[in-house]
Amino acid sequence: MKFGGALLSSKIEILSKLPNDLIPTTIEIRDGESFASINTKRMHQKMSFPVIAKPDNAERGKGIYKLENENELKELVDRVKQQTYLIQEYVSYPIELGVLVFRNKKGELTISSMCEKSFCSVTGDGETKLGDLIQNQVRVAHRIPYFKNKYQNEWNDVLDEGQTLVIEPIGSHNLGTKFCDARKRINEDIYKWLDRLLSCLPLFDYGRIDMKIESWDAFKFNRGIKILEINGVNAEPIHIYDSEQSIGQAYQSIFYHMKVIFNLSQQKESKPPYSFYEFLKGAYLNVTQKNIC
Give me the CATH number covering residue 19: 3.30.470.20
pLDDT at 265 over 50: yes
How much is the average pLDDT of 105-127? 94
| DSSP states of 258-291 | HHHHHHHHHH--SSPPPPHHHHHHHHHHHHTT--
Q: What is the pLDDT of residue 60?
A: 63
The pTM score is 0.86
CB atoms within 10 A of CB 248: 8
pLDDT at 291 over 50: no
Same domain (yes/no): 102, 222: yes
Q: What is the pLDDT of residue 8?
A: 58
Same domain (yes/no): 112, 240: yes
- Residue 232: band (very low, low, confident or very high) from pLDDT cuts 50, 70, 90: confident
How much is the average pLDDT of 202-222? 94
Same domain (yes/no): 7, 106: yes
Q: What is the pLDDT of residue 290?
A: 46
Same domain (yes/no): 86, 99: no
Q: Which of 151-155, 167-171, 176-180 has the lowest mean pLDDT?
A: 167-171
Amino acid letter at 164? T
Same domain (yes/no): 230, 113: yes
Q: Which of 49-58, 171-180, 212-221, 276-285 has the lowest mean pLDDT?
A: 276-285
pLDDT at 127 over 50: yes
Same domain (yes/no): 18, 156: no
> Is the CB of residue 9 less than 8 Å from the CB of residue 1?
yes
pLDDT at 272 over 70: no
How much is the average pLDDT of 80-91? 86
**129-139 pLDDT, tens per residue?**
999 999 999 99
- The domain in which residue 103 lies consists of 1-23+91-119+169-293
Backbone angles phi, psi at 224, to 5 degrees: 70, 40
Q: What is the pLDDT of residue 170?
A: 86
pLDDT at 36 over 60: yes
Q: What percent of the chain has pLDDT over 70?
A: 88
Same domain (yes/no): 277, 174: yes
Number of domains present in the structure of the chain: 3
pLDDT, mean over the chain? 88
pLDDT at 293 over 50: no
Q: In angstroms, rounded to a whole number, what is the distance separating the alpha carbons of residues 140 and 128?
A: 18
In the beta sheet, which residues pair with residue 208?
A: 100, 231
Buried b (16+ CB within 10 A) or exposed e, 204-228: bbbbbbbbbbbebebbeeeeebbbb
Report H helices in the chain.
Answer: 11-15, 35-44, 70-79, 130-135, 144-150, 188-198, 218-221, 247-267, 276-287
- Residue 180: band (very low, low, confident or very high) from pLDDT cuts 50, 70, 90: very high
Amino acid letter at 252? Q
Q: In angstroms, rounded to a whole number, what is the distance separating the alpha carbons of residues 9 and 3?
A: 8
End-to-end CA distance of the chain: 13
Same domain (yes/no): 259, 229: yes
Which of 237, 232, 229, 236 lies closest to 206, judged by CA? Answer: 232
Give me the CATH number covering residue 82: 3.30.1490.20
Q: What is the pLDDT of residue 70?
A: 95
The residue from 162, 186, 221 where one domain ends is: 162
With the CA atoms of 140, 146, 152 and 154 taken in that order, what torsion angle do they form, in degrees rounded to the nearest 10?
-30
Q: What is the pLDDT of residue 135?
A: 96
Q: What is the pLDDT of residue 120?
A: 93
Same domain (yes/no): 59, 74: yes
CA atoms within a 13 Å half-sphere pointing along the CA-CB vector of 199: 7
Same domain (yes/no): 177, 61: no
Q: What is the pLDDT of residue 266?
A: 81
Same domain (yes/no): 96, 86: no
Same domain (yes/no): 247, 108: yes
Q: What is the pLDDT of residue 276?
A: 65
